[in-house]
Structure 1
Amino acid sequence: MRNESKTMPLTAAVRNYLLQCVAKAGTKPERILSEMQLCEKFGVSRITVRRAIQSLEQSKHLIRLPGRQGAFTNPELAMAVPFIVGILSHDGTRNYFNTARADILAGFMGVLRNVNCDFECLLLNLNGNLSVAQEIENMALDGLFWITPSEDRIDDINELLQRQYPLVVMDTIYDTESRKPNGNTLLRDYEFHAAQYARLMRQRQLHRAVWLGSYNISAKRFLKEMQKYGIDLPRKFFIDTAAEIPEKLPRLLTTETIDAIICTGDTERYNCLLQTLDVQENRKNIPIFMAKNHLTSKLQKKYSQWKIEIIPSYYDCKALGRSAGQRMAEFLQGKITSFPSFVVPVEKKSKEE
């Protein structure tokens, strides 16, 4: 899913703020800030403010009272004002959602279906005079869901956390070693996957497996689990980067008894592995294990000469989104103002998913 929109229009930020005023007003009409006060608050022109006010007058959220100056909140519509939840992805400068992120977002929105929410896909204007935290606060959102933020945005997220901003963060689902925010973050259980791979190796009586992937907490958990089964794999059986595969893997296949290859990670690593094996004609009986996704299924068909085995995904990205949605619902309902980061338990996919 791709959103080609530019940064949030200035009118939308003012409008969101005024909607919050309507939602929080009492049972009697309350005067909103004057046009000049709103101009100063948001650093916008009077024309921008007037457009926002006029749009809410047309929808009856703001009203005029005879004999009184200014616009007032309409208490009759206060309960009908939806929460406005912003969506940011990666570094905040583009809204591109691959399959995994789209599933996370679907799970998130599904939980909030009955909370009366509107969602706004956002883009940050990093060339402005405001900090990222200030820019987000000026958007007048009721909450923000930041999906897999890049590391260069972590300081900005931490600034929002210091301000107790209603923010839920879904940590990267790929890099276990990336820097994490100080709180309000959902983490994937990387160690669970590693333990499942080790259990599979034991069931298949494969004792000399090569691990292609970063030597991170997943790889270390895999090694630890194998050691529990009495199998101690040397460090050289763990090839960290894709660039090392063409050199190190043929050497291992020649000098060691290898009975399995586990390939984790991205497109580059998969391609390096299969291109390297193409010249290893006598090694086609070695099973290659890859996690199930849209890419590995295609590779299995393309390289049918190899024993590529697709391992079902042990994680449901929609479940990650549902957990994030539950935290956001608690924010919107006033039940929490922050929460400690936590690892989302693995949840089996339902049959319909």
Structure 2
Amino acid sequence: MNLLITGGAGFIGSNFIHYMLTAHPNDQIINLDLLTYAGNLENLCSVSAHQNYHFIHGNICNKSLIEKIIDQFHIDSIINFAAESHVDRSIDQPGLFVKTNVLGTQILLDAAKKHQFRKYIQISTDEVYGSLDSDGSFTEKSPLAPNSPYAASKASADLLTRAYFKTFGLNINITRCSNNYGPYQFPEKLIPLIITNAIEDQVLPVYGDGAHVRDWIYVSDHCVAIDQVLHHGKPGEIYNIGADHELHNIDLVKHILDQLHKPYDKIKYVSDRPGHDRRYAINTSKIRSDLNWQPQYDFEKGINQTIQWYLKHKTWWKKIKNGAFKDYYNQHYGKAPE
């Protein structure tokens, strides 16, 4: 397989490339990434010289570049990880999210249709379903009800992808995953933010009352699920991916502090973000039954490995937090960590 991975220098994309080069060493992996704030080639240093891996710096909105890559590397499948993905940033700059997440997806779909690709996978999110009360869970048939510009742009991309299956017969799948955690995650996200701030004895910002609920999945389990969809997903199908491990944000923060033997006195409740979804929970019975997938990491194992990774890779995240990240942090949480 000659596989184009868009957004492969980001958190989930880079973990997926590491996984694929081990699981399918004969596949050609082409990584197209614009290297915006969350794209980091240091995530892929260990595979940069691999004979079946190639990196190209570029934008998924560049139609001519997409065509050139397809011709040069004989691409037959695309997995689209490329996206502006942080809710807070989408509130500040919704237009950027529409351009990348919607227009970029349409350009990739057009290329896949033109060249009759074997497979196109749109990597989406459980956030397209909106928010839940204290019980129930989202299935693949749940209505889309996004509550942030980010989620709305991803829902729009999902609908475009579905339309290319219905109208043009393109072999597509859409995956909607719960919150990921693990190595190489940009430290504006909750888990790496709390881990790195706690290591440095900084304030630990928690939105609102801390009672928002998320389902957490270790990134390696997500990668295996995508691989199953790539090779065995039924054309046109949507697959929810999650670990069925729900936690209140404040309980997650306290668990991390307990693992690091840190006190709770640095926790600071900050003003909640506009339209903050209260609870996400997704039903994963479809991918478990149809594709024989299930997560291999329980939360205790996954979070311990994640904490150890950030303890061992301080140079990686300190470089990020000492750059433009400080301005972002100051805008959303108050004074940036020194």
Q: TM-score, normalised by structure 1?
A: 0.35
Higher CA-based Rg: 1
